[in-house]
Structure 1
Amino acid sequence: MHQTEKIVQDEKAQLDFSQSMSYGDYLHLDQILNAQHPLSPAHDEMLFIVQHQTSELWMKLMLHELTAATHCIATEQLPDAFKMLSRVTRIMEQLVNAWTVLSTMTPPEYSAMRPYLASSSGFQSAQYRCIEFSLGNKNAAMLKPHAHRADLLAQVEAAYCAPSLYDEALRLLARSGLAIPSEYVERDWTQPYVASDVVEQAWLAVYRNPKQHWDLYQLGEKLTDIEDAFRLWRFRHVTTVERVIGFKRGTGGTGGVSYLRKMLDVVLFPEIWRLRTEL
């Protein structure tokens, strides 16, 4: 066979995916790209659907990383935990940018599709609720929006009942010999976290001598990065909603912007932020 003919045949063989797994097969692209079903005649509904679907995919990855990082902290595999926590921060940056895309939707464009949403709302996102619980913002009332689906409720309840990322960080500080009160090492994990002056002093000991407590110091900064990014995510959510719907009530029954603004005041890792004033 002529060398050129052989090259052509080899190239054709390489481009034939009928007998092997293709890119689309691996990623299940048929299912993903056919999962957008606008209910209104509005052109902009496709943007609304894709933005929320992609955000849910990023949140799925975030939960995957948060769950693993929390386990790694509990088992003192800190280099692995640091890598995962850094990835969580980068995912949140992607979610911030997603709000920037949605903000191109104007109020008349949203109004054209809003009646078709019924009572569906991002407030009902089970994955977002798991993220909040995993980061320590526990609230029993937030289980109710998921009560209509037993499988989702079980998922959210598991995150609600488990130690949060910060709970495991404090348990690590205690195992490292720092003075963490016993009620912060073993407690009812479903209860909201209450800041402690004693816990702040423990973190201060870490930050005043970072070389001696290098891993714990790094952990504190990874947690700071996450909360910093989370605040930006929340803020972009508020400003985008206000830009698009003003102060109307949310489709899920919340106060809309007023509710979201209250969430801006939630501090996940309070002692790590407070200690900066004392340094």
Structure 2
Amino acid sequence: MGHDTVETPNLSFGRGGQPGRGTPYAQYVRLEQLHSLQHPRSKEPAELSFIVTTQVMELLFDLLRHEWTIAGQSLREDDLTAALAALRRGTHVQDVLVESWDLLATMTPQEFNSFRPLFGEASGFQSSAFLHLEFLIGNKNAALLNMYDGMPEVRAELTEALRSPGLYDEVLGLLARRGLAVHAEPSEQRYRPTEEVAAAWRRVYTEPEFAALQPLGEALLDVAERVTRWRQRHLSSVKRTMGAKPGSGGSSGLTWLRKAAEQDVFPELWTIRDEL
């Protein structure tokens, strides 16, 4: 009996999705395109690290959005198991994002300043992928959409995210359907904690009838804690690299980052800890 022959599938795609050459691996992950996206504007060696790390973060933002979107859809469908699985996968993405700051945290002010003027007003604050994540966790601000006036498709996508239920909105909807008195009304404003939601979470953690929802509360705390870690690492990295200078995109730099790091995500889950 002879050996079976496994035919390699034709995955050959070049630039723009056109047929190309290379190994199946190179074709599948678009290596040629991927490795052609780094264009330092200075002779400073640290600039390449800055560009690559930023690009990796952007890819991870998209992956995290993918997982949080799945989690929200699963919650809407009352599939708690699928929602928890997506949130768990998302926390692994968040861990990598937090650790990504290690690649930038030790950049000296001299290294950063050697190429900072060359990217002008470009700033991570302008990342539409990151802003989408902020909207998903309830940190909404319609005024930020003005940054994308010249990018109508991006602005339309973010406008939809602003107006749609975020991750926590879907959670509160699930709590309401499970018999907890929560008024879940999506808002285009930043989420504000309420005693009504705090009372619902208290019941989840203290009444056996709702104990099955405790893993959801803990999974959300895992997400929230990692958001805070990200913000704190961002703050410390910027403080070490550029001090209190204004952000390149016009933000207030450390002042804005410090304020963001102090904001709790899913706040009622934190405030009830004092009573448990």
**1:138–1:192: 8 Å Cα contact kept in structure 2?**
yes
Cα shift readout 1:161-204 (whole Å, capped 9, x = no counterpart)? 11111111111111111111xxx3235x2122221112111110
> Please, what is the CA RMSD of the aligned residues?
2.1
Q: Structure 2: how far apart are the matches of 1:107 and 1:72?
A: 45
Partner of 1:192: 190
**2:239–2:254: 8 Å Cα contact kept in structure 1?**
yes
- Give percent identity, aligned residues only: 39
Report which of the two structures shows the higher radius of gyration computed on alpha carbons. Answer: 1
SS at match of 2:101: helix
Residue type of the alignment partner of 1:139: N
TM-score (normalised: structure 2): 0.90
**1:130–1:159: 8 Å Cα contact kept in structure 2?**
yes
SS at match of 1:213: helix
Q: Structure 2: how far apart are the matches of 1:49 and 1:263?
A: 24
Q: Structure 2: how far apart are the matches of 1:232 and 1:145?
A: 26
Q: Structure 2: how far apart are the matches of 1:30 and 1:97?
A: 26
Residue type of the alignment partner of 1:278: E
Q: Structure 2: how far apart are the matches of 1:43 and 1:28?
A: 25
**1:42–1:112: 8 Å Cα contact kept in structure 2?**
yes
Residue type of the alignment partner of 2:213: L
Partner of 1:270: 267
Task: Select which of 250, 253, 261 maps to 1:253.
Answer: 250
Partner of 2:153: 151
**2:148–2:154: 8 Å Cα contact kept in structure 1?**
yes
Partner of 1:242: 239
**2:44–2:115: 8 Å Cα contact kept in structure 1?**
yes
Partner of 1:203: 201
Aligned residues between the structures? 263
Task: Select which of 217, 221, 244 maps to 1:220.
Answer: 217
Q: Structure 1: how far apart are the matches of 2:222 and 2:212?
A: 15
TM-score (normalised: structure 1): 0.89
Unaligned ranges ≥5, structure 1? 1-6
SS at match of 1:212: helix
Q: Structure 2: how far apart are the matches of 1:97 and 1:23?
A: 27
Residue 88, structure 1, aligned to residue 86, structure 2: no
Residue type of the alignment partner of 1:185: A
Give how far 1:78 is off.
Answer: 1.1
Write out aligned runs for 1:1-279 (5 A).
22-180=24-182, 184-187=183-186, 189-209=187-207, 211-279=208-276
Report which stretch shifted further, 213-222 or 110-119: 213-222
Q: Structure 2: how far apart are the matches of 1:77 and 1:126?
A: 29
Report which stretch shifted further, 146-155 or 117-126: 146-155
**1:78–1:215: 8 Å Cα contact kept in structure 2?**
no
Give how far 1:21 is off.
Answer: 6.0
Give how far 1:148 is off.
Answer: 2.0
Q: Structure 2: how far apart are the matches of 1:107 and 1:221?
A: 39
